[in-house]
Amino acid sequence: MAQKINHIPKRLDSLVRERYASAIAEGALLFSESVVSSQREQGVDFEVRYVPALAKRPSSKPSEKQARGDFVNPFLPFDPRLHVARIGSTHQLLLNKYCVAPNHLLITTSEFKQQGEPLTMLDFAAVLDTVSNLSQEHIVFYNSGEESGASQPHKHLQLLPMPDTMSSPPSVSIWLRSTCKVGQVCSSSDLPFANFGCRLESAAALSPTDLHTSYSAALQRLVAAYGDSVSYNMVLTPLALVLFPRLRGSWQGVSVNSLGMAGLVLCKSTKEMDLVKGSGALGILSQVGFPPESASQPIHSPKC
């Protein structure tokens, strides 16, 4: 994705690795080696990852955290040991304390904004400024609403390096099979849960305006179908931006956030991992997403 603003150090890859190594050494983040397996569904390899560290992560929803008198916002102030860089005057780049893979990053607003608020042009500018200075492709995602898998009330996006085994997350790869053209909001009937996405122009041509326009168009279509209070996940890759409305946050104990909807399902126990393998990744995701719309043709208005 193309660089549009210049507030992040050019040597961001090195800086992320250095901060990650020091944070591990200082005990500032929780990470344990995970067990990854794949299962092929609809011709695509879905990733099922057993991450023991997830069992240590607080599981309450953002509103429940805020309601508690002892709630402390971990992003304001942030732990300096997890700080990677400042992104202009509006955002911070942090390491995720509860990382599911090395170099798992967060983009947080410098001032408090509510998680679940629509993403803004400045949010997408911060995303572009970050990914354009990283050499590896990343999956960018946003958990919006109580049933989205969000755990913190302070607005933040997450970035995870794209696994070496894939060029796009599994659900996005299936979505990209559609005949959706740039400029259309489309739903793919190949996914067994509701989705609204936009195919993107070439990465070199992307701008914050382009991304915000695509996101707003897809969100408008989602809200028209499910109401403005519905939870959803956003998954952004160099090729597509896709929204998944959420019916529930978990099924049979398996919590699903944006990564899960993208096809990278996280499990905090071997029992959960066995359940995902038995039910299939798409089977789990169809339980936490809404049923697909009966009409899955390109929608010409609004436009991306």
Q: What is the pLDDT of residue 100?
A: 84
Q: What is the pLDDT of residue 3?
A: 39
Cα separation, 233 vs 243, in Å, equals 6
pLDDT in tens, 172-203: 999 999 989 988 999 999 999 999 999 998 76
Could you tell me the two tokens for 132?
């354009």
Give the CA radius of gyration of the chain.
18
pLDDT in tens, 87-124: 999 999 999 998 888 999 999 999 999 999 999 999 99
Domains in the chain: ranges and CATH: 12-288 (3.30.428.70)
The per-residue DSSP string of 263-287 comes to TEEEESSHHHHHHHHHH-HHHHHHH
Cα separation, 66 vs 64, in Å, equals 6
Find the angle CA(224)-CA(229)-CA(230) to the nearest 5 degrees: 75
**Average pLDDT in the chain:** 89
Among candidate residues 91, 104, 154, 156, the one labeled active-site is: 156
Q: What is the pLDDT of residue 241?
A: 97
Weakest-pLDDT range from 53-62, 112-121, 206-215: 53-62
Cα separation, 30 vs 100, in Å, equals 9
Could you tell me the two tokens for 225?
């179908």
Q: Say whether pTM exceeds 0.75.
A: yes
Q: Is the pLDDT of residue 296 over 50?
A: no
Q: What is the pLDDT of residue 155?
A: 98
Cα separation, 292 vs 61, in Å, equals 26
Q: What is the pLDDT of residue 193?
A: 97
Cα separation, 288 vs 85, in Å, equals 35
Q: Is the pLDDT of residue 71 over 50?
A: yes
The per-residue DSSP string of 61-93 comes to -HHHHHHSTT---TBTTBPGGGEEEEETTTEEE
Is 154 known to be catalytic? no
Banded model confidence at residue 61, pLDDT cuts 50, 70, 90: low
DSSP H stretches of helix in 68-169: 121-131
pLDDT in tens, 35-48: 889 999 999 999 99
Q: Which residues of 44-57 are buried (b: 16+ CB within 10 A; e: fewer)?
A: bbbbbbbbbbbeee
pLDDT in tens, 226-250: 999 999 999 999 999 999 999 999 9
